[in-house]
Amino acid sequence: MTPAELTEILRLHGMWLRGEAGGKRADLHGADLRGANLRGANLPAGYRIASLCFGGWVVTVTSTHTTIGCQTHANADWLRWTPADVAHMHVDAADWWTRHAEAVRAVIRDVEAT
């Protein structure tokens, strides 16, 4: 998603929030928002998101899904997976998960708790 596309999605979302004609609720599911500036974005009350960077892979955690690198899966999956479960995702995935799984799981549990 380009910055211009994100700007347009957020503009239409703002219109939708205000009940203006032509507005559209934003659907950012699966969007790669690494580096996106969401300062001032009107997110639902209590919405939490966490972003981390471990060993070269960006980790983005929402209340329902977590993205690590290019892999987006339900939080429940990440919470139960072992290094063997993620090994097929990347040549370094099993080693990375061995080192960082507990920290990622802690963040998932924290974001889900709200």
pLDDT tens profile 69-95? 989 999 999 999 999 999 999 999 999
- Confidence label for 106 from pLDDT (cuts 50, 70 and 90): very high
Instruction: Please state the pTM of the whole predicted model.
Output: 0.66
The C-alpha atoms of residue 5 and residue 10 are separated, in whole angstroms, by 9
For residues 66 and 55, give the distance between their C-alpha atoms in angstroms, rounded to a whole number: 16
Q: Please report which confidence band the pLDDT of residue 62 belongs to, taking 50, 70 and 90 as the band edges.
A: confident
Selected residue with higher pLDDT from 89 and 16: 89
Q: Tell me the C-alpha distance between 74 and 20, whole Å.
A: 33
CA distance 59 to 87: 17
Residue 46: pLDDT over 80: no
Q: What integer pLDDT is reported at residue 89 of this predicted model?
A: 96
Burial tier of 67 (Cβ tally within 10 Å: 0-12, 13-18, 19+)? buried
